[in-house]
Amino acid sequence: MSYSEAKEKYAKLGIDTDAAIAKLKDIPVALHCWQLDDVKGFDQDGPLTGGIQTTGNYPGKAMTPEQLFADYEKVFELTPGTKKINVHASYAIFEKGEWVDRDALEPKHFKKWVELAKKHHAGLDFNPTFFSSPRVKDGLTLTSPDEETRQFWIRHGQACLRISEYFAKETGIPCVMNIWIGDGYKDIPADRLGPRLRYKDSIEQILSVPYDRDLVKPCVESKVFGIGVEAYTAGSAEFTLSFAATHEGVMPLMDNGHYHPTEVVSDKIPALMCFYPEFALHITRPIRWDSDHVVLFDDETREMAKEIVRCGGIGKIHMALDYFDASINRISALATGYRSWQKALLEALCMPHAELKRLQDSNELGRKMVLQEAVKLLPLGEIWNEYLRREGVVDDFGFYDEIEKYEKDVLSKR
Positions annotated as catalytic residues are: 180, 221, 223, 255, 258, 282, 290, 292, 322
Kindly give, in sequence order, each residue whose CB lies less than 8 Å from that of residue 240, ignoring residues fewer than 6 positions away: 220, 221, 222, 252, 253
Of residues 88, 156, 217, 282, which one binds Zn ion by CB under 5 A? 282
Residue closer to ligand RNT, measured from CB, 20 or 321: 321
The interface mask with Zn ion, positions 213-252, x = CB under 5 A, is ----------------------------------------
Q: By CB under 6 A, is residue 35 in contact with ligand RNT?
A: no
CB 82: neighbour CB atoms within 10 A? 15
Rounded to a whole number of angstroms, the minimum distance from the CB of residue 377 to ligand RNT is: 34
Q: Single out the residue of 170, 255, 347, 382 in contact with Zn ion (rule: CB under 5 A).
A: 255
Pick the closer one to ligand RNT by CB: 37 or 170.
37
Q: Do 90 and 222 form a contact (C-beta atoms < 8 A)? A: no
**What residues form DSSP beta bridges with 392?**
none
Is residue 382 a contact residue for ligand RNT (CB under 6 A)? no
Helix orientation angle between 299-310 and 265-273, rounded to the nearest 10 degrees: 10
Q: Which is nearer to ligand RNT, 92 or 380 (CB)?
A: 92
Query: CA 245, CA 212: separation in Å to the nearest integer?
Result: 20
Among 282, 302, 306, 318, binds ligand RNT (CB under 6 A): 282
In angstroms, rounded to a whole number, what is the distance separating the alpha carbons of residues 37 and 34? 6
Q: Does 125 bind ligand RNT (CB under 6 A)?
A: no
Using CB under 5 A as the binding rule, whether residue 325 contacts Zn ion is answered as no
Of 38 and 322, the one with the shorter C-beta distance to Zn ion is 322
The smaller minimum CB distance to Zn ion, of residues 255 and 382, is found at 255
Provide DSSP, 53-69: ------S----SHHHHH
34 binds, among ligand RNT, Zn ion, none (CB under 5 to 8 A by kind): ligand RNT
Residues between 227 and 256 that touch ligand RNT (CB under 6 A):
255
90 binds ligand RNT per the rule CB under 6 A: no
d(CA 407, CA 323): 21
Q: Which of residues 319-358 bind ligand RNT (CB under 6 A)?
A: 322
Give the shortest CB-32-to-ligand RNT separation in angstroms.
Answer: 7
Q: What is the C-alpha separation between 238 and 220, in angstroms, rounded? A: 11
State the DSSP string of 88-155: EGGG--PPTT----GGG--GGGGHHHHHHHHHTT-EEEEE--BSSSTT-BTTBSTT-SSHHHHHHHHH
196 neighbors 157 (Cβ within 8 angstroms): no
CA 368: distance to chain centroid? 32
Question: Which lies closer to ligand RNT via its Cβ, residue 17 or residue 284?
Answer: 284
Element (H, E) at 374: helix 365-376
Q: How far is the CB of 322 from Zn ion (least distance, A)?
A: 4
Give me the least distance between CB of 235 and Zn ion, in Å please. 11
Instruction: Give the span between the Cα atoms of 413 and 407, in whole angstroms.
Output: 9
Q: Which of 119, 43, 80, 87 is nearest to 320 (CA)?
A: 87
Choose, by CB under 6 A, the member of 183, 290, 382, 386 that binds ligand RNT: 290
Closest approach of Cβ 33 to ligand RNT, in Å?
Answer: 10
Least distance from C-beta 253 to ligand RNT, angstroms?
8
Q: Which residue's CB is nearer to Zn ion, number 74 or number 282?
A: 282
Residue 52 sits in the site that holds ligand RNT (CB under 6 A)? yes
Q: Closer CB to ligand RNT, residue 71 or residue 322?
A: 322
Helices and strands, counts by H and E, the chain: 14, 12
* C-alpha 35: how far from chain center: 11
Contact (CB, 8 A) for 128 and 157: yes
Minimum gap (Å) between residue 38 Cβ and Zn ion: 15
Q: Which residues pair with 317 in a beta bridge?
A: 279
DSSP strand pairing (216-221 vs 175-179): parallel
Please give the residues from 156 up to 195 whose contact with ligand RNT meets the rule CB under 6 A.
180
Stretch that binds Zn ion, among 76-84, 87-95, 121-129, 274-282 (CB under 5 A): 274-282
The residues with which 390 forms a beta bridge, in sequence order, are none
Least distance from C-beta 182 to Zn ion, angstroms? 11
**Site for ligand RNT, rule CB under 6 A:** 34, 39, 52, 127, 180, 221, 223, 255, 282, 290, 322
Binding site for Zn ion (CB under 5 A): 255, 282, 322
